[in-house]
Amino acid sequence: MSTPRPGADARLDPAPVARTPVARALVALALVSLATPACTPQELPMHAHSPVPSSSPAAPPAATPAAAPATWHCRHCGRHLFDQSEIKSRRPLWDLGEEKAEVFVLESAAGLDGLRRYDASLHEGYYCCRFALMRMVVDKFGTGRDLLAYVADVVGVPKGGEVPTPRPAKRGQVRLGARDFDAVTLRDDGVLRVVKLSATWCPPCRLVDTALGKIARAGGVSGVEVLEVDVDDEQALAERLAPASIPTLLFFYGGKQLRVQADRVASVRGALVGGIPSARLRTILTAVRDAARRGQTDISVRGS
């Protein structure tokens, strides 16, 4: 188990990982000690409207309210996960600044039996094309044995409706597997390649995903390519790379792996570990790229 560094921001600490087996030992939530803020509904102001004079044009017809969802599906592959009737509540789960999470709390899930199951230390995880549902083993959030689904990862469909065609967001990452790992990362073509070892259930990993998406939508960082290894899907590769925690960022340039350190970010064996906000991450990517182009292989990024 990794131990939080003195003075570190507990919100950004990584999820600790036991050595073997990786799929059952990666812990997304172990060091993410977060308060769950209460949501206070905001009242909408009531406005009085004067009658429309008879000479005025008729007001446009009111929009037809959208039909209420009957079923909920994976936003990425469209698979049916649970029904509206199975939702007990909707609540915030954690807040990492740039990345916040709300969940549906479920008493059951109609699609549970057909999902793959991978367990971590604090939860049972259920997967379709990616992480879909979890049930806490350690009751960190006061949800007992209820199932949890990230609101951002599901879409509601009314009775008789069609599941929307998934529209992949610009995430700024390319999936990488064991078959192509060495050929891609050891390529000597003047591009800095950053490999993110992560899992979709891990809060600090989702923070890094959000940061990379913001960077990509703003035009990216020239000369930098980000690759993603999902430690659940690529268990053999994850065991070979042996991340101490997730998320872990590995850096490759000119056919070699670089050793990188950065202020206010944990570093283990030359890799950066833990959640990193977008502004800081952009600074790190740019600084490491420039240092690598100057021939440095042991790089320290200072300042903001």
Q: What is the CATH number of the domain that holds 227?
A: 3.40.30.10
- Quick one: pLDDT at residue 165? 80
Specify whether 75 is located in the same domain as 144.
yes
Claim to verify: residue 182 and residue 164 sit in the same structural domain: no
Say if residue 248 is in the same domain as residue 271.
yes
269 found inside a domain:
yes
> Token pair 């989702």 is at which residue?
206
Q: Are residues 156 and 182 in the same domain?
A: no
Confidence (pLDDT) at 6: 36
- Domain end among 117, 146, 168: 168
Q: Burial code of 42-69, b = ≥16 C-beta within 10 A, e = fewer? A: eeeeeeeeeeeeeeeeeeeeeeeeeeeb
| Backbone region of residue 113 per phi and psi (left: phi > 0; alpha: psi in -120 to 50; beta: other values) | alpha
Please tell me whether residues 189 and 262 are part of one structural domain. yes
For residue 3, tell me if it sits in a domain.
Answer: no
Same domain for 287 and 224: yes
Please state the pTM of the whole predicted model: 0.76
Q: Same domain, yes or no, for 83 and 190?
A: no
* Domain housing 91: 67-168
Q: Which of 141, 124, 79 is nearest to 232 (CA)?
A: 124
pLDDT value of position 304:
67
**Are the beta carbons of 78 and 258 closer than 8 angstroms?**
no
Are 203 and 257 contained in the same domain?
Answer: yes
- CA distance linking residue 164 with residue 268, whole number of Å: 42
- Half-sphere exposure (Cβ direction) of 88: Cα atoms closer than 13 Å: 12
pLDDT in tens, the chain (304 residues): 333 333 334 344 555 444 444 444 444 333 333 332 323 223 223 232 333 344 455 666 666 667 899 999 999 899 999 999 999 999 999 898 888 999 999 999 999 999 999 888 789 999 998 899 999 999 988 999 999 999 999 999 999 998 888 766 667 788 899 999 999 999 999 999 999 999 989 999 999 999 999 999 999 999 999 999 999 889 999 999 999 899 999 999 999 999 999 999 999 999 999 999 999 999 999 999 999 999 999 999 997 6
- pLDDT at res. 130: 87
How many domains would you assign to the chain?
Answer: 2
Q: Which of 166, 146, 155, 130 is nearest to 70 (CA)?
A: 155
- Is 124 part of a structural domain of the chain? yes
Cα torsion 194, 199, 205, 210: sign: positive
Rounded Cα distance, 278 and 210, in Å: 8
Does residue 78 belong to any structural domain of this protein?
yes
Of 153, 168, 183, which one is at a domain's C-terminal end? 168
Which residues are within 8 A (CB) of 57 and not within 5 positions of it... i.e. 6 or more apart? none
Q: Find residue 91's DSSP bridge partners.
A: 103
Residues 189 and 115 in one domain: no
Kindly state whether residues 147 and 109 are assigned to the same domain.
yes
